[in-house]
Structure 1
Amino acid sequence: MAHDRHYSILDKLLLQADTVARTLLPFSGQPARPSPALLQPDAALSEVQSKHVAGLMRVNHTGEVCAQALYQGQALTARLPEIREAMEHAADEEVDHLAWCEQRIRQLGSRPSVLNPLFYGMSFGMGAVAGLISDKVSLGFVAATEQQVCKHLDEHLHELPAEDHKSRAILEQMRDDEAHHAQAALDAGGARFPLPVKVGMSLMAKVMTKSTYRI
């Protein structure tokens, strides 16, 4: 991957605008990996089940929007080139998750959350600020965020109907990827956040999950 010094300010702005569009516009993100759901059989879900699963997948989709914005904000302000490239690589994997979740939401007859632009902006700002403070704090923020995401994914896997193998396959692969991102961030020197910070992040995550489940 080329380093930022090869790009002008205008180039960086255009690249960032392209990333925003690929994150927020319907069907604009192209996954590098096929959805894990493709190999799973269809299930006859009731209307209530479909609505609930769509709500869960909408929450996860917004979580991936936030992760994409977080990584992009951190990559913009990261000091070390290797940290910036690691953030950009993780963001690429989040594009897969975005596309998989959106595909599943559409299959269930629903749509992503209309609140995604709001959460994207908030997450991008937090990522940029974390990167400005230090790469260690930025990496620690990634680890803490991904650990929170893994917790939510485990909860959602528990709530899925047993016969919904498509959604389960997607969430299981996402959980594996997110756990890898969290450990990679710690291995790269990320700070381990104290409990009060993690509690605050958990409360913010609950606001996101409660609102995007229905909206």
Structure 2
Amino acid sequence: MATPRPLTQPLRQYRSIFAQYAPPSTSNASAARARRFISSTSSSSSSPPPPPSPHAQQQQQQQQQPKQKKPLTPAQQSLLSSALRVNQAGELAATLIYTAQTPPVVAREPHLRPLMKHMHDQEASHLHTFNTLLARHRVRPTALYPLWSVLATGLGWTTGLLGREAAMACTEAVETEIGGHYNGQIRALLEMVGEWEREGYEVGAEFRDLIATLRRIRDEELEHLDHAVEHDAQKAEPHWLLTGVIRTGCRGAIWVSERV
């Protein structure tokens, strides 16, 4: 598509043509009026646009100004601190459970070694992530760190010795609670983001990265749940009692770790 020529160019051409081919009968006064008309038209076409209204100027200035980040309220800061603390404790427990389960399970079921290693390595990566976040944001770990370590190791050894079905039922119970817990955290953080955006504040990249990290870890935890069900978790006897006791223990550990 050709670029349109400025309006003044054809007017200048028209003015020269008009002067060259003006009929002899045209009076000097008429020619002068024609020239004035053409000159005024050319000048008006190239005149600058009128200045914007004060309201438009104010809107333009607001658009040009960078958005501010809203500082966290004490309640929001407490929510984030407790979330990081309990997540770190949960990933520690999951890592220790798989560490304790692997020897007895693999001794009976050697083909499960790659799966057990895969789940353990993912939990160890999650633990490293939350260790880093705790240090960066100066959040203290739970005071019951040593107790959770002992209980998680004991749970892993016990279910591992009971066999593959019991070990997988343990994974099913733990990951069911952990997956729901991560979902609750993600919903709470998304509500905070929505509130900030409605108020015109900027949401920093670090905060969005945290939500993305929680989503990724949640999905990996739910992947472990799928693996457990695929490997006969629900064949453990008695399944309802074993998973019920473990899920109740997880809920209690989460509640305590958020506060202590």
**What TM bracket, shorter-length normalisation?**
0.7 to 0.9
| Pairwise CA distance, 1:122 | 0.7
Deviations 1:147-195 (A, max 9, x none): 2210111111122232532321121011110111111122123335644
What TM-score do the two structures reach when normalised by structure 2?
Answer: 0.61
| Pairwise CA distance, 1:121 | 1.4
For the residue of structure 2 that corresponds to 1:127, the secondary structure is helix
Q: Distance in 2 between matches of 1:192 and 1:147?
A: 17
| Pairwise CA distance, 1:59 | 0.7
Aligned to 1:184: 227
- The structure-2 alpha-carbon separation of the partners of 1:182 and 1:145, relative to structure 1 and needing over 3 Å to count, comes to same
* Letter in structure 2 aligned against 1:173: R
| Pairwise CA distance, 1:43 | 7.6
Q: Distance in 1 between matches of 2:243 and 2:159?
A: 15
Q: Equivalent residues in 2 for 1:31-110 (5 A)?
A: 44-78=71-105, 79-110=108-139
Deviations 1:61-109 (A, max 9, x none): 1111110011011102112122233222211111111111122223332
CA-based RMSD of the aligned residues comes to 2.1
- Partners of 2:169 and 2:243 within 8 A in 1: no
Q: Number of aligned residue pairs: give it.
A: 174
Q: Distance in 1 between matches of 2:219 and 2:123?
A: 12
Q: Which ranges in structure 1 are unaligned for 5 or more consecutive residues?
A: 1-41
2:237 paired with 1:208? no
- The structure-2 alpha-carbon separation of the partners of 1:45 and 1:75, relative to structure 1 and needing over 3 Å to count, comes to same
Aligned to 1:128: 157
- The structure-2 alpha-carbon separation of the partners of 1:142 and 1:115, relative to structure 1 and needing over 3 Å to count, comes to same
- Partners of 1:146 and 1:182 within 8 A in 2: yes
User: Whose relative contact order is higher, 1 or 2, with alpha carbons under 8 Å and at least 6 apart?
Assistant: 1
Q: Distance in 2 between matches of 1:143 and 1:83?
A: 16
Q: Distance in 1 between matches of 2:113 and 2:101?
A: 7
